[in-house]
Amino acid sequence: MEFLSEYGLFLLKTATIAVVIIIIISLLISAGQRQRSSSKGDIKVVNLGEAIKDNSQSIKNEILTNAEYKQLLKEEKERDKQQEKEAKQKLKQAKRSSSKTVAETEISKATVEQVAADKVDQESINSESESVESGEASEAVESPKRMYVIDFDGDIHASGVDALREEVTAILATANQGDEVMVRLESPGGLVHSYGLAASQLKRIRDAGLRLTISVDQVAASGGYMMACVADDLVAAPFAVVGSIGVVAEIPNFNRLLQKANIDYEQHTAGQYKRTLTMFGQNTTVSREKFKQELEETHQLFKTFIHENRPNLDLDKVATGEHWYGRQALELGLVDKLQTSDDVILDALNSMDVYSIKYEIRKPLTERLSINLYQAMDKFVLRWIQRSSQTNIFK
């Protein structure tokens, strides 16, 4: 009897746990579906100036004495107060200037109405007074210039272009005249149409009148250079790989292997050049020549695009499919300056605020939980293996 009661209690506990697990899974699935119906991702903004400042203070906190560090914090606090005070004064001056200009504009209107004999165009005076008003207000308060930093890590499909287009759109909707954009670009190239779209996204920045700096720390080759050449300023690290202005296509052919195995392969097309080279059929000389012609046409489009963006380049010399390191690329005119992206940011911080902009695609809750579960299991197995190895060593 006691055994039956304990067994019944065990079954009850098991059923309760099962019901709880089912409810949790249902909630996760429901949350994942709601999340998929909402926006795909979010823009993350990081003030790089503040981040660098925080890191610097962490180091100073360790290397300075307590008295020196307190004095440093005091000086920085006073400096921040002074800057805030100056910003408030500029804002007050702007308001006064704006109100004064409005008063002068009304007086000028009354004067025009009274002096009709002078035949002065009232509309011209109104437009002049409005331009004076906007001009003085803009001079009184100059918003701080900003640099927006984007990261692009390219693969063969340029899959980062989905995030890139969101980042560019967000910046163009926010930036003021005089702001700049910097792209930290890393890509060995890939599909022509994919990188053509990525380059077009960067061209949107220049077309909007914002200065574009592209920095290459490691590689910008082939399609990566197609993107990089759009920049107003193209910066590369001394040993970054740049160039590879060419087109390549590779395709294996298994036709002879199929013939040995007595396997027939048929392919039917409508249109003379619907297919040129194939993997399983017998390729002809005409097909090969047509395929090479298409490669040459693509290469010519590539060179034309680069010439439009960097007209001083000697394309006969650099559009050979070769790549060069940063120093050589500078001599050939492929880049404008040798510098790392870190130094570009530090230089920009002397005259403007710098912000990192990143579009993060939101993963469903179920996917994130499965990833976390996988990582936890991976860590558990790794620790178990390490402990087993240690036990064997000590044995």
Q: What is the CATH number of the domain that holds 159?
A: 3.90.226.10
State the number of CA atoms in the 13 A half-sphere of 224 facing the CB.
28
Q: Looking up tokens 């590689």, which residue turns up?
A: 219
Angstrom distance (rounded) from CA 338 to CA 320: 23
pTM (predicted TM-score): 0.69
* Most confident of the following: 20-29, 108-117, 224-233, 363-372: 224-233
Is residue 192 domain-shared with residue 133, that is, in the same domain? no
Residues 154 and 234 in one domain: yes
- Closest to 108 in 3D by CA, of 98, 121, 94: 121
Identify the active-site residue in 222, 244, 341, 356. Answer: 222
For the record, the structure tokens of 297 come out as 């046409």
380 part of a folded domain: yes
Check 5, 38, 119, 274 and give the catalytic one.
Answer: 274
Q: What length does the chain have? A: 395
**Domain match, 159 and 206 both:** yes
Same domain, 113 and 194: no
| Max mean pLDDT range (224-233, 246-255, 357-366) | 224-233
Same domain, 326 and 223: yes
Residues 332 and 391 in one domain: no
pLDDT in tens, 258-296: 889 999 888 888 888 888 888 888 888 988 899 899 999
DSSP character for 181?
E
Model confidence at 246, pLDDT cuts 50, 70, 90, reads very high
What burial letters (b/e) apply to 268-291, b meaning 16+ CB within 10 Å? eeeeeeeebebeebebeeebeeeb
Q: What is the dihedral of CA 234, 153, 294, 242, to 10 degrees?
A: 40
pLDDT of the residue at 125:
44
Contact 141, 135 (CB under 8 A): no
Residue of 140, 207, 137 whose CA lies nearest to 171: 207
Q: Which of 55-59, 74-78, 98-102, 208-212 has the lowest mean pLDDT?
A: 98-102
Domain boundaries, position 69: 56-140
**161 shares its domain with 235:** yes
pLDDT in tens, 20-54: 777 777 666 666 555 544 457 889 999 998 898 88
Judgement on whether residues 123 and 180 belong to the same structural domain of the protein: no
- Given phi > 0 = left and psi -120 to 50 = alpha, else beta, which region is 321? left
Whole-number Å distance between alpha carbons of 364 and 181: 31
Q: Within this chain, do residues 81 and 130 fall inside the same structural domain, yes or no?
A: yes
For residue 22, being part of any structural domain is answered with no
Distances (CA, A) of 37 to 31, 164, 204, 377: 10, 22, 29, 30
Amino acid identity at 117:
A
Looking at the structure, tell me whether residues 356 and 378 fall in a common domain. Answer: no
Among 320, 348, 341, 345, CA closest to 332? 320
pLDDT at residue 114, rounded to an integer? 59
> Do 176 and 214 reside in the same domain of the chain?
yes
72 and 218 share one domain? no
Helices (H), ranges, the chain: 2-37, 48-63, 66-114, 122-140, 161-172, 192-207, 223-228, 255-260, 285-309, 315-318, 326-332, 341-348, 365-394
Name the residue among 323, 327, 302, 320 with its Cα closest to residue 241. Answer: 323
Torsion angle defined by CA atoms of residues 184, 212, 163 and 147, in that order, rounded to the nearest 10 degrees: 80
Most confident of 14-28, 47-61, 91-105, 292-306: 292-306
Comparison of pLDDT for 8 and 346, the residue scoring more: 346
95 noted as active-site residue = no
Examine residue 116 and state whether it is found in any structural domain, yes or no.
Answer: yes
Is 351 catalytic? The answer is no
Q: How far apart are CA 262 and CA 295, in angstroms?
A: 33
Boundary (domain end) residue, out of 98, 120, 140: 140
Number of structural domains (the chain) is: 3
